[in-house]
Amino acid sequence: MIKKQWLQDLKAIPFLLPFFVAYMIFTIFPIFKGLEMSLYDWTLVRKIEFVGLENYVNMFTDQHFWRTLWNTTFFVILTTPTMVLLALGLALLSNLNTKLKIFFRGSFFIPSILSVSVISFLMIFMLQPYNGLVNNVIQMIGIDAEPKWMADQGLAWVTIVVVTLWWTVGFNMILFLAALQDIPESLYEASEIDGASRWDMFRYITLPQLIPIGRVVLLLQILASYKVFAQILLITGGGPGGATRPLIQYIYEVGFNQNNLGYAATMSYALFFILLILSIIQLKNQRSGEN
Protein backbone atom coordinates (compact mmCIF):
# COMPACT_ATOMS: atom_id res chain seq x y z
CA MET A 1 0.00 0.00 0.00
CA ILE A 2 2.78 2.41 0.93
CA LYS A 3 4.64 1.44 -2.21
CA LYS A 4 1.57 2.29 -4.24
CA GLN A 5 1.27 5.69 -2.60
CA TRP A 6 4.49 7.04 -4.09
CA LEU A 7 3.47 5.61 -7.44
CA GLN A 8 0.27 7.64 -7.20
CA ASP A 9 2.27 10.73 -6.24
CA LEU A 10 4.52 10.19 -9.24
CA LYS A 11 1.54 9.97 -11.59
CA ALA A 12 0.17 13.29 -10.35
CA ILE A 13 3.40 15.18 -10.96
CA PRO A 14 3.13 15.68 -14.75
CA PHE A 15 -0.38 17.08 -14.26
CA LEU A 16 0.62 19.49 -11.52
CA LEU A 17 4.06 20.52 -12.66
CA PRO A 18 3.35 22.99 -15.52
CA PHE A 19 0.98 25.08 -13.42
CA PHE A 20 3.16 24.76 -10.35
CA VAL A 21 6.29 26.02 -12.12
CA ALA A 22 4.57 29.02 -13.72
CA TYR A 23 2.81 29.84 -10.45
CA MET A 24 6.00 29.64 -8.39
CA ILE A 25 8.09 31.73 -10.77
CA PHE A 26 5.64 34.47 -11.68
CA THR A 27 3.23 34.68 -8.73
CA ILE A 28 4.97 33.49 -5.55
CA PHE A 29 8.63 34.26 -6.15
CA PRO A 30 8.08 37.99 -6.97
CA ILE A 31 6.64 38.48 -3.47
CA PHE A 32 9.97 37.45 -1.93
CA LYS A 33 11.98 39.17 -4.62
CA GLY A 34 10.10 42.36 -3.80
CA LEU A 35 11.07 42.03 -0.14
CA GLU A 36 14.74 41.70 -1.11
CA MET A 37 14.55 44.66 -3.51
CA SER A 38 12.93 46.87 -0.91
CA LEU A 39 15.99 46.43 1.32
CA TYR A 40 18.44 47.54 -1.36
CA ASP A 41 19.42 50.54 -3.39
CA TRP A 42 18.44 48.90 -6.66
CA THR A 43 18.46 50.46 -10.13
CA LEU A 44 17.04 49.27 -13.45
CA VAL A 45 20.44 47.83 -14.30
CA ARG A 46 21.54 46.12 -11.07
CA LYS A 47 21.42 46.09 -7.31
CA ILE A 48 23.82 48.62 -5.79
CA GLU A 49 23.98 48.12 -2.03
CA PHE A 50 22.09 46.91 1.02
CA VAL A 51 20.36 49.80 2.76
CA GLY A 52 18.28 47.99 5.37
CA LEU A 53 15.03 49.76 6.17
CA GLU A 54 16.03 53.08 4.64
CA ASN A 55 13.50 52.78 1.80
CA TYR A 56 10.73 52.19 4.33
CA VAL A 57 11.82 55.18 6.41
CA ASN A 58 11.84 57.29 3.24
CA MET A 59 8.38 56.09 2.34
CA PHE A 60 6.85 57.25 5.60
CA THR A 61 8.26 60.75 5.16
CA ASP A 62 7.69 60.99 1.39
CA GLN A 63 4.88 63.48 0.81
CA HIS A 64 4.42 62.23 -2.78
CA PHE A 65 3.73 58.77 -1.43
CA TRP A 66 1.06 60.04 0.94
CA ARG A 67 -0.38 62.38 -1.67
CA THR A 68 -0.73 59.66 -4.31
CA LEU A 69 -2.02 57.15 -1.74
CA TRP A 70 -4.63 59.75 -0.79
CA ASN A 71 -5.50 60.35 -4.45
CA THR A 72 -6.07 56.62 -4.91
CA THR A 73 -8.16 56.49 -1.73
CA PHE A 74 -10.14 59.54 -2.87
CA PHE A 75 -10.82 57.74 -6.14
CA VAL A 76 -12.06 54.72 -4.15
CA ILE A 77 -14.35 56.96 -2.08
CA LEU A 78 -15.77 58.63 -5.19
CA THR A 79 -16.27 55.53 -7.33
CA THR A 80 -17.48 52.91 -4.83
CA PRO A 81 -20.95 54.18 -3.82
CA THR A 82 -21.66 55.58 -7.27
CA MET A 83 -20.64 52.29 -8.88
CA VAL A 84 -22.89 50.19 -6.65
CA LEU A 85 -25.91 52.44 -7.20
CA LEU A 86 -25.37 52.76 -10.95
CA ALA A 87 -24.83 49.00 -11.36
CA LEU A 88 -28.05 48.34 -9.44
CA GLY A 89 -29.98 50.88 -11.49
CA LEU A 90 -28.75 49.51 -14.79
CA ALA A 91 -29.49 45.95 -13.69
CA LEU A 92 -33.07 46.97 -12.87
CA LEU A 93 -33.41 48.56 -16.32
CA SER A 94 -31.95 45.44 -17.98
CA ASN A 95 -34.44 43.31 -16.09
CA LEU A 96 -37.50 45.18 -17.37
CA ASN A 97 -40.07 43.10 -19.15
CA THR A 98 -39.35 44.38 -22.66
CA LYS A 99 -37.80 43.11 -25.87
CA LEU A 100 -35.31 45.97 -25.66
CA LYS A 101 -33.62 44.46 -22.62
CA ILE A 102 -31.06 42.67 -24.79
CA PHE A 103 -30.12 46.04 -26.27
CA PHE A 104 -29.96 47.55 -22.77
CA ARG A 105 -27.71 44.84 -21.41
CA GLY A 106 -25.41 44.92 -24.44
CA SER A 107 -25.09 48.72 -24.36
CA PHE A 108 -24.28 48.77 -20.66
CA PHE A 109 -21.77 45.95 -20.96
CA ILE A 110 -19.86 46.59 -24.20
CA PRO A 111 -17.71 49.47 -22.87
CA SER A 112 -16.22 47.12 -20.27
CA ILE A 113 -14.73 44.77 -22.86
CA LEU A 114 -12.83 47.58 -24.60
CA SER A 115 -9.17 48.25 -23.92
CA VAL A 116 -8.29 51.01 -21.49
CA SER A 117 -6.31 52.68 -24.28
CA VAL A 118 -9.35 52.75 -26.55
CA ILE A 119 -11.74 54.18 -23.98
CA SER A 120 -9.17 56.71 -22.77
CA PHE A 121 -8.43 58.13 -26.19
CA LEU A 122 -12.08 58.00 -27.16
CA MET A 123 -12.77 60.20 -24.13
CA ILE A 124 -9.79 62.49 -24.74
CA PHE A 125 -11.10 63.26 -28.22
CA MET A 126 -14.73 63.56 -27.14
CA LEU A 127 -13.91 65.87 -24.24
CA GLN A 128 -11.61 68.30 -26.02
CA PRO A 129 -12.59 71.92 -25.55
CA TYR A 130 -13.81 73.93 -28.59
CA ASN A 131 -14.34 71.06 -31.02
CA GLY A 132 -14.92 67.99 -28.83
CA LEU A 133 -18.25 66.23 -29.26
CA VAL A 134 -19.35 66.64 -25.64
CA ASN A 135 -18.87 70.40 -25.52
CA ASN A 136 -20.52 70.75 -28.92
CA VAL A 137 -23.55 68.82 -27.68
CA ILE A 138 -23.66 70.99 -24.56
CA GLN A 139 -23.68 74.09 -26.76
CA MET A 140 -26.20 72.57 -29.17
CA ILE A 141 -28.76 72.19 -26.37
CA GLY A 142 -28.25 75.86 -25.55
CA ILE A 143 -25.78 75.94 -22.65
CA ASP A 144 -23.10 78.54 -23.29
CA ALA A 145 -20.09 76.95 -21.62
CA GLU A 146 -16.69 75.58 -22.56
CA PRO A 147 -15.71 73.22 -19.70
CA LYS A 148 -12.05 72.12 -19.65
CA TRP A 149 -12.72 68.51 -18.74
CA MET A 150 -9.11 67.47 -18.28
CA ALA A 151 -7.34 70.70 -17.31
CA ASP A 152 -9.47 71.86 -14.39
CA GLN A 153 -8.74 70.05 -11.13
CA GLY A 154 -12.32 69.42 -10.05
CA LEU A 155 -13.50 68.56 -13.55
CA ALA A 156 -10.52 66.23 -14.05
CA TRP A 157 -11.80 64.16 -11.12
CA VAL A 158 -15.34 64.23 -12.51
CA THR A 159 -14.00 63.06 -15.86
CA ILE A 160 -11.95 60.22 -14.37
CA VAL A 161 -14.84 59.02 -12.21
CA VAL A 162 -17.49 59.24 -14.94
CA VAL A 163 -15.24 57.52 -17.48
CA THR A 164 -14.41 54.75 -14.99
CA LEU A 165 -18.10 54.25 -14.16
CA TRP A 166 -19.03 54.11 -17.83
CA TRP A 167 -16.18 51.75 -18.66
CA THR A 168 -16.49 49.23 -15.79
CA VAL A 169 -20.09 49.30 -14.55
CA GLY A 170 -21.22 46.58 -16.98
CA PHE A 171 -19.48 43.83 -15.07
CA ASN A 172 -21.10 44.78 -11.77
CA MET A 173 -24.45 45.22 -13.49
CA ILE A 174 -24.30 41.59 -14.68
CA LEU A 175 -23.70 40.44 -11.10
CA PHE A 176 -26.78 42.34 -9.90
CA LEU A 177 -28.81 41.16 -12.87
CA ALA A 178 -28.04 37.49 -12.17
CA ALA A 179 -29.04 37.99 -8.53
CA LEU A 180 -32.25 39.75 -9.58
CA GLN A 181 -33.20 36.83 -11.79
CA ASP A 182 -32.52 34.41 -8.94
CA ILE A 183 -35.14 35.96 -6.65
CA PRO A 184 -37.92 33.37 -6.41
CA GLU A 185 -41.01 34.49 -8.27
CA SER A 186 -43.16 33.01 -5.51
CA LEU A 187 -42.10 35.83 -3.19
CA TYR A 188 -43.63 38.39 -5.53
CA GLU A 189 -46.73 36.31 -6.12
CA ALA A 190 -47.36 35.95 -2.41
CA SER A 191 -46.95 39.66 -1.79
CA GLU A 192 -49.21 40.47 -4.71
CA ILE A 193 -51.99 38.42 -3.12
CA ASP A 194 -51.39 40.41 0.07
CA GLY A 195 -51.99 43.58 -1.92
CA ALA A 196 -48.44 44.94 -1.89
CA SER A 197 -47.67 47.81 -4.23
CA ARG A 198 -44.77 47.65 -6.70
CA TRP A 199 -42.74 49.96 -4.52
CA ASP A 200 -43.42 47.71 -1.48
CA MET A 201 -42.20 44.71 -3.45
CA PHE A 202 -39.03 46.53 -4.42
CA ARG A 203 -38.43 47.83 -0.92
CA TYR A 204 -39.25 44.63 1.01
CA ILE A 205 -38.38 41.83 -1.42
CA THR A 206 -35.97 42.94 -4.15
CA LEU A 207 -33.59 45.08 -2.10
CA PRO A 208 -33.14 42.66 0.83
CA GLN A 209 -32.56 39.80 -1.62
CA LEU A 210 -29.82 41.82 -3.31
CA ILE A 211 -27.84 42.59 -0.16
CA PRO A 212 -25.43 39.60 -0.41
CA ILE A 213 -24.43 40.36 -4.01
CA GLY A 214 -24.34 44.06 -3.13
CA ARG A 215 -21.67 43.31 -0.56
CA VAL A 216 -19.65 41.36 -3.11
CA VAL A 217 -19.90 44.19 -5.65
CA LEU A 218 -18.91 46.74 -2.99
CA LEU A 219 -15.76 44.89 -1.98
CA LEU A 220 -14.75 43.97 -5.53
CA GLN A 221 -15.11 47.63 -6.41
CA ILE A 222 -12.93 48.84 -3.54
CA LEU A 223 -10.31 46.26 -4.50
CA ALA A 224 -10.40 47.18 -8.19
CA SER A 225 -10.34 50.93 -7.48
CA TYR A 226 -7.20 50.68 -5.36
CA LYS A 227 -5.49 49.33 -8.47
CA VAL A 228 -6.47 52.35 -10.55
CA PHE A 229 -3.74 53.50 -12.90
CA ALA A 230 -4.06 53.22 -16.65
CA GLN A 231 -7.09 55.40 -17.37
CA ILE A 232 -5.71 58.21 -15.18
CA LEU A 233 -2.26 57.96 -16.75
CA LEU A 234 -3.72 58.12 -20.23
CA ILE A 235 -6.47 60.72 -19.74
CA THR A 236 -4.99 63.31 -17.35
CA GLY A 237 -1.44 61.98 -17.00
CA GLY A 238 -2.01 62.36 -13.25
CA GLY A 239 -2.58 66.09 -13.68
CA PRO A 240 -3.35 68.87 -13.47
CA GLY A 241 -0.30 69.37 -11.26
CA GLY A 242 -0.37 65.84 -9.83
CA ALA A 243 -3.93 66.36 -8.54
CA THR A 244 -5.18 63.02 -9.88
CA ARG A 245 -1.92 61.00 -9.85
CA PRO A 246 -2.59 57.56 -8.29
CA LEU A 247 -0.12 55.49 -6.25
CA ILE A 248 0.64 52.97 -9.00
CA GLN A 249 1.62 55.79 -11.35
CA TYR A 250 4.00 57.18 -8.73
CA ILE A 251 5.48 53.71 -8.18
CA TYR A 252 6.00 53.42 -11.92
CA GLU A 253 7.64 56.84 -12.16
CA VAL A 254 9.98 56.16 -9.24
CA GLY A 255 10.97 52.79 -10.66
CA PHE A 256 11.32 53.51 -14.33
CA ASN A 257 11.79 57.29 -14.68
CA GLN A 258 13.81 57.92 -11.51
CA ASN A 259 15.61 54.58 -11.89
CA ASN A 260 14.92 53.53 -8.29
CA LEU A 261 13.40 50.04 -8.36
CA GLY A 262 14.26 49.43 -4.70
CA TYR A 263 12.06 52.25 -3.49
CA ALA A 264 9.37 51.37 -6.05
CA ALA A 265 9.33 47.83 -4.64
CA THR A 266 8.99 49.25 -1.11
CA MET A 267 5.90 51.25 -2.05
CA SER A 268 4.54 48.24 -3.93
CA TYR A 269 4.71 46.43 -0.60
CA ALA A 270 2.55 49.06 1.02
CA LEU A 271 0.02 48.62 -1.78
CA PHE A 272 0.38 44.85 -1.50
CA PHE A 273 -0.70 44.90 2.14
CA ILE A 274 -3.64 47.20 1.53
CA LEU A 275 -4.86 44.95 -1.28
CA LEU A 276 -4.11 41.74 0.62
CA ILE A 277 -6.22 42.83 3.58
CA LEU A 278 -9.05 43.88 1.26
CA SER A 279 -9.01 40.62 -0.66
CA ILE A 280 -8.98 38.54 2.53
CA ILE A 281 -12.07 40.46 3.63
CA GLN A 282 -13.55 39.91 0.17
CA LEU A 283 -12.94 36.14 0.17
CA LYS A 284 -14.27 35.78 3.71
CA ASN A 285 -17.37 37.70 2.71
CA GLN A 286 -17.89 35.56 -0.36
CA ARG A 287 -17.38 32.37 1.65
CA SER A 288 -19.95 33.44 4.27
CA GLY A 289 -22.36 34.32 1.46
CA GLU A 290 -22.14 30.76 0.19
CA ASN A 291 -22.88 29.03 3.49
Residues 111-140 that bind another protein (CB under 8 A): 111, 113-118, 120-126, 130-131, 133, 136-137, 139-140
Which one of the spans 56-64, 74-82, 144-152, 265-273 is the region binding another protein (CB under 8 A)? 265-273
Report the C-alpha gap between 179 and 199 in whole angstroms. 19
290 is an interface residue for another protein by CB under 8 A: yes
Q: Which of 27, 63, 257, 291 binds another protein (CB under 8 A)?
A: 27
CB of 81 to another protein, least distance (A): 19
Report the C-alpha gap between 1 and 96 in whole angstroms. 61
Q: Which of 200, 203, 280, 288 binds another protein (CB under 8 A)?
A: 280
Question: What spatial distance separates the first Cα and last Cα of the chain, rounded to whole Å?
Answer: 37
Q: Which of 220, 222, 232, 250 binds another protein (CB under 8 A)?
A: 220
In order of 18, 24, 73, 159, 197, the CA distances from 151 in angstroms are 49, 44, 21, 10, 48
200 is an interface residue for another protein by CB under 8 A: no
Which one of the spans 61-69, 76-84, 148-156, 220-228 is the region binding another protein (CB under 8 A)? 220-228
Q: Which is nearer to another protein, 156 or 262 (CB)?
A: 262
Residue type at 108 in one-letter notation = F
248 is an interface residue for another protein by CB under 8 A: yes
Q: Which is nearer to another protein, 143 or 276 (CB)?
A: 276
**Phi and psi, residue 216, nearest 5°:** -60, -50
**Total residues at the site for another protein (CB under 8 A)?**
102
DSSP 43: -
Report whether 264 contacts 33 (CB < 8 A).
Answer: no
Report whether 184 contacts 171 (CB < 8 A).
Answer: no
Report the b/e string of 71-107 with b at 16+ CB within 10 A: bbbebbebbbebbbebbbebbbbbbeeeeeeeebbee
For the window 35-64, what string marks contact with another protein as x by the rule CB under 8 A? --x---------------------------
In order of 125, 129, 143, 150, 193, the CA distances from 133 in angstroms are 8, 9, 14, 14, 51
Q: Which of 65, 104, 149, 250 binds another protein (CB under 8 A)?
A: 104
CB of 35 to another protein, least distance (A): 8
